[in-house]
Structure 1
Amino acid sequence: MISEITHKMTNLILKDNNYFIEDATGKGTQWSRWTSKYFNDNIGEMENQPEWSSNVGIYDTKDEALSYGYEDGPLNALEVMATLKTAMTVTSKDYPVDQKMYQDAYNLTFDSSYSKAEPYVNGKGYMDMALEYIKRRDVRQATHAFNILKELSTYDNVSNLYNASIGDWQARSHINSTIHNDWTQYINYSDEELGWFPIYQLILQEKDPARYKQIVDSYSQWYENEKREENPFYTFLYQLANPTDKSVSMQQDIQNSVRFLYRTQHVKIGFPVSYDRQDVFYIEPGDRDGSKAQTNYALPLDEQRIHRNNSNPFSRASNSAKDYSPSDTYNYNTGGGKNMDDGVTFLLPYWFGRNFGIIKEVN
């Protein structure tokens, strides 16, 4: 059954070289699309503008030129690469006739660079696109900041930009982060979770050393932020991708992740928490966190609200302190924001670490 489903889905993506999945009406769905134009439209034109050197993507009219899917390119490139590689592995016995099609499409992802103008070639150079995870966040963020006054964000004009964006926390976050070259404020944390799965598939199956290194290099960009989360879900994958890395830094990351496991529960309960700790410095909100300020480091799980791998571990529950009031007579059925959740954020990294020998139980 797994082979059959994988075969159907992969062939649906590659059908007529469309690189998208059709819904019941025959139209492409909102997110299941991997076309080169969707991610890279207008890049060739943007690169000809002087503002591109400052990570601003615009036309010569100074209007934004970034395609809607621009920042999603690196994640989606990895997705389609993992799909093709996995299809070759699990369908080779049952569907030998399609193996060359899968192999050719996979090879194309490592072929030169991706298309930047018509005609866009789907799949071509997607590995290069996967290596632009940080770059594309810098560009999207700097372009948003540019749109405020049609000026580059610099220390010299920051007052003008701030005055023009009074009350707009998102715009101010873009300005400040652009000036400080801080791409981490423009992260979609659900992308981090989604990015885990194609990387896992690719590093287990890719045997070519040069290609393997490119895949690991792409994940290293994601891990640049994930490292500070101290989340074993990401740390253990990074160790698996870099098995010879026995550095002090890597061992410290693993120890931090073990501490993360010790301080989480198999079954999570969303108690109210206190965010008025005196040892935490609060910074501007991230792009996707409403007006909620962020902590400068991730608090342990037993000091946070309910947590999943697709949420920002640095974001406050609110911008005001909340009381922490555990109760021995806690009623699981009353609601009121006190929700139970599954324990996959513990179980998956724990058994992942055990299975690959990254951690072990000791008496």
Structure 2
Amino acid sequence: MMRFQVKLRLVLMLMTLSSALAVMGQKRADAPIQDKPFIQEYSIKYNYDNSGNELFQAASDRNGYIQVISLHGLLRPRAGEMLFPGTLVKDVQYKPTSDKGIRAVVNYQDQLVYVDDVAVLSNAWAGRLFTRHNLPEARILEAGKDFTFLISDGKKLQLLNMEGSLWEGESADAVNEIAYDAANNQFWILGENSIQVFQPGKNNLKQVLSRPGLTAIEVWKNQLVAGTSDGYFTVDLQSHQAGEMQKNLPWTEITCVKNIDGDLWLGSTWGAFKRNDQGKYDYYASKRWLPSDEVIDIAKGPENSVLILTGKGLGQICRQEMTLYDKAMYFEKQVRERHIRFGFNGTISGMTDGDVTTGSLETSDNDGLWTTMYLAGEVFRYVVTKSDEALQNVRESMDAMERLYSINPVPGFPSRSFERRGYKYHDKPWRRAEDPEWDWKSTTSSDEAIGHIFAFGAIAELVDVPELKDQAIMLIDTLMSHALKHDHYLVDWNGEPTLWGKWTPEYVNARPVGVGDRKINSSNYIGMLQTAYHFTEKEKYKKAAFDLMENHGYLENLMLPMSKIGRAAEDADDWSKMLSESWNHSDDEMYYCGYWGLYRYAFDKELKAKFKEAIVDHWEAERPEKEGLWNIMTALVGKDDYDFDNAAWYLREYPLDMINWTVKNSHRKDIELLPENFREQSTAEVLPPDELRISRHNANRFGLDGGSDGRSEYSAGDIWLLPYWIGRYLGVISEPATK
């Protein structure tokens, strides 16, 4: 039942034991992000077709045995791993219990106690708990102290212990739920329009308040939490005074309230949420977490997990302690098992409902870019750890990158991708290679080029393997010689510049000053020329860069503050208007890939100081997004604190499940929506990564809704491993703490 948890624990144990040997970088005791163990959450889902059978409750005992109460008997989970959901099936493990027609269950002293039409009973304590009752329609059960239990059929109530009945009575209102207050030894009873208190011993039933729309109750931190159809409120356990209604929630139509080990959990008709230490709510919705968003019940699960019962099955939110290094090793495995095609770092697409075995690796316009971001991460991994595996990964991806240049007939031109003939997408950019078995994709753009130069520069500088250094420098020289030969254009098979491969002044400076393309192309291209000069020492690259900076305004362009970037004026050309409709988040990715060469290989100290100013200015503009890669990479320019705590938060909160589930947040009541703006910042505060759709670094982190119903799985290679490993290299992230 817990196969994935066991496998994950074993993997993490092995990784932890080997980390002292495998992690050979500096201790980095002064690193701002100390890699201490944290709690990583993930979900195992057990789907269920509930047509004709209603689900009511979930529970588990000290042995880790999970049961679900349904209209037609007990159910239990079968199979189930993080990426491979299980199902709920009829529980026949112990037929004398499952044949009884169990109506409700409660966890008492870590054991399961049931009520059926005859008795309150349990299989624990050698089966001695079997107390007959007088409510043949009993369907509500709560445990008190010293083996006392209060049951109800929805109207009548009966208090029992091991010896028999202690009290019977009837509620003036319906009885929908019972919660026990251990501190005051009293039961709270939820009706349709009232809350009552029953005190054993005194045996009096007292109404505390009357209010319509009540849906759930639970005792939590010396107060009763009462859910309603529009928020929740609290009631003091002694004074019985009600507090203000709380509506600043992900969703206010509450269906259940539970106290799980001191944490307040609430279920709703649109997902579940947990109150965190900041008084805000961690939101668990979408198929990343639950079989469906209609939450019926929440219960404590085995091994520090939480069970969330929905209309379509059970979600088990598992909580595993790990370090960032452990998480990196998990993602390294994910990439190599499912996301490598010819050495490219790719996406699995065409999946059915999140099943990775139903999808296929796809070719992409950005095979070169996504691969170079993964490749750079593996370079930094190798530099930090001297891992033979990382080095082999670098070799394989470099072979794929080099073939992008050799598979087409245009000297120095990088293809977007290549594929075996007959398996490509049937769109115009595909061309036939000389080899009849292969096709290559044309129309390469500037975002591929800057990714290439970033990774090749990192290899040329940092990898102590001569043939790899030579290969990287050769490819840098090949690409940049092509650009200079063609007057700062990428020129395709037809002798024409590609749509986006244009760094020439005639194109760049045709844009108004505040249009982003003018700044991004200037910044990227100067960085590319600096990288080429740094490693080849060919004067043509230095000469071209200074000509562009001194005679064509490229230095002024790239130094333009981000606050000046905006929409083109009404009298601007249509192309400039199109380019500046809103902030282009792909530009952020291109800028940061380019900053490696722009800052690290600056021609002189004066330029380096200017480039630092431009990079920090960009980071300031990006701070609200809490984008882990941007915060970490800004450390290129020095040791100041570039919101490294937010970078750690980003890395820790990113989900292990990289499935592109459909996620919605725009309905939430706990977010502050902002007016429409150029930066497309939809909310005052960005949501955690595990509450958003899976996206690469070129996406807007303020996008509230999105995803593709589990039809694809993204690679962690560019999304997570690059920020982690460059953080290790730059000394932002320490090596893992020894467990």
Residue 682 of structure 2: aligned partner: 294
Residue 32 of structure 1: aligned partner: 501
**1:68/1:137 Cα in 2 relative to 1: closer, same or farther (>3 Å)?**
closer
C-alpha displacement of 1:305: 1.2
Question: 1:271 and 1:27 mapped to 2: Cα distance?
Answer: 40
String of CA shifts for 1:125-178, please: whole Å, max 9, x gaps: 31111012526523x35x25x89xxxxxxxxxxxxxxxxxxxxxxx9xxxxxxx
**1:5/1:36 Cα in 2 relative to 1: closer, same or farther (>3 Å)?**
same
Contact persistence 1:38–1:67 (CA under 8 A): no
C-alpha displacement of 1:349: 0.4
Residue 481 of structure 2: aligned partner: 11
Residue 88 of structure 1: aligned partner: 533
C-alpha displacement of 1:29: 1.1
Contact persistence 1:20–1:28 (CA under 8 A): yes
Residue 174 of structure 1: aligned partner: none
Residue 186 of structure 1: aligned partner: 582
Name the aligned partner's letter for residue 646 of structure 2: N
Choose the corresponding residue for 2:700, options 295, 304, 312: 312
Residue 126 of structure 1: aligned partner: 554
Q: How does 1:98-137 map to 2 (within 5 A)?
A: 99-111=538-550, 124-134=552-562, 137=565
C-alpha displacement of 1:101: 1.2
Name the aligned partner's letter for residue 310 of structure 1: N
Task: Please state if 1:271 is matched with 2:661.
Answer: yes
Question: 1:271 and 1:8 mapped to 2: Cα distance?
Answer: 40
C-alpha displacement of 1:105: 1.6
SS across alignment from 1:277:
coil
Contact persistence 1:88–1:102 (CA under 8 A): yes
Q: Which structure has the larger Rg?
A: 2
String of CA shifts for 1:2-51, please: whole Å, max 9, x gaps: 333222221221126x211211111111111112121223xxxxxxxxxx
**1:209/1:89 Cα in 2 relative to 1: closer, same or farther (>3 Å)?**
closer
Name the aligned partner's letter for residue 723 of structure 2: P
Name the aligned partner's letter for residue 531 of structure 2: T
Residue 346 of structure 1: aligned partner: 720
Q: How does 1:66-77 map to 2 (within 5 A)?
A: 70-77=515-522
Choose the corresponding residue for 2:622, options 198, 206, 226: 226
SS across alignment from 1:84:
helix
C-alpha displacement of 1:217: 1.5
Q: Which runs of 5+ in 2 are unaligned?
A: 1-470
SS across alignment from 1:317:
coil
C-alpha displacement of 1:358: 0.8
C-alpha displacement of 1:342: 0.7
C-alpha displacement of 1:277: 3.1
Residue 596 of structure 2: aligned partner: 200
Residue 254 of structure 1: aligned partner: 644
- Tell me how many residue pairs correspond in the alignment: 259
Structure with more of its chain in helix, by fraction:
1
Structure with more of its chain in strand, by fraction:
2
Question: 1:240 and 1:296 mapped to 2: Cα distance?
Answer: 28
Q: Which runs of 5+ in 1 are unaligned?
A: 42-65, 93-98, 112-120, 148-170, 172-182, 323-334
The CA RMSD over aligned residues, in Å, is 2.9
**1:288/1:132 Cα in 2 relative to 1: closer, same or farther (>3 Å)?**
closer
C-alpha displacement of 1:255: 0.8
Question: 1:256 and 1:108 mapped to 2: Cα distance?
Answer: 40
Residue 357 of structure 1: aligned partner: 731
C-alpha displacement of 1:307: 2.0
Question: 1:133 and 1:27 mapped to 2: Cα distance?
Answer: 33
Contact persistence 2:586–2:697 (CA under 8 A): yes
String of CA shifts for 1:233-286, please: whole Å, max 9, x gaps: 00011122133x2xxxx26x1011101110113551223334133331112345
String of CA shifts for 1:78-133, please: whole Å, max 9, x gaps: 211111111122324xxxxxx1211212233442xxxxxxxxx5xx3311110125
**1:230/1:68 Cα in 2 relative to 1: closer, same or farther (>3 Å)?**
closer
Question: 1:106 and 1:305 mapped to 2: Cα distance?
Answer: 40
Name the aligned partner's letter for residue 339 of structure 1: S
Contact persistence 1:228–1:297 (CA under 8 A): yes
Query: When the two structures are superposed, what TM-score results if normalisation uses the length of structure 1?
Result: 0.64
Contact persistence 1:74–1:133 (CA under 8 A): no
**1:110/1:67 Cα in 2 relative to 1: closer, same or farther (>3 Å)?**
closer
SS across alignment from 1:294:
coil
**1:24/1:126 Cα in 2 relative to 1: closer, same or farther (>3 Å)?**
same
Name the aligned partner's letter for residue 37 of structure 1: E
**1:238/1:106 Cα in 2 relative to 1: closer, same or farther (>3 Å)?**
same
**1:231/1:204 Cα in 2 relative to 1: closer, same or farther (>3 Å)?**
same
Question: 2:522 and 2:498 mapped to 1: Cα distance?
Answer: 17
Residue 327 of structure 1: aligned partner: none
**1:69/1:135 Cα in 2 relative to 1: closer, same or farther (>3 Å)?**
closer
**1:72/1:13 Cα in 2 relative to 1: closer, same or farther (>3 Å)?**
same
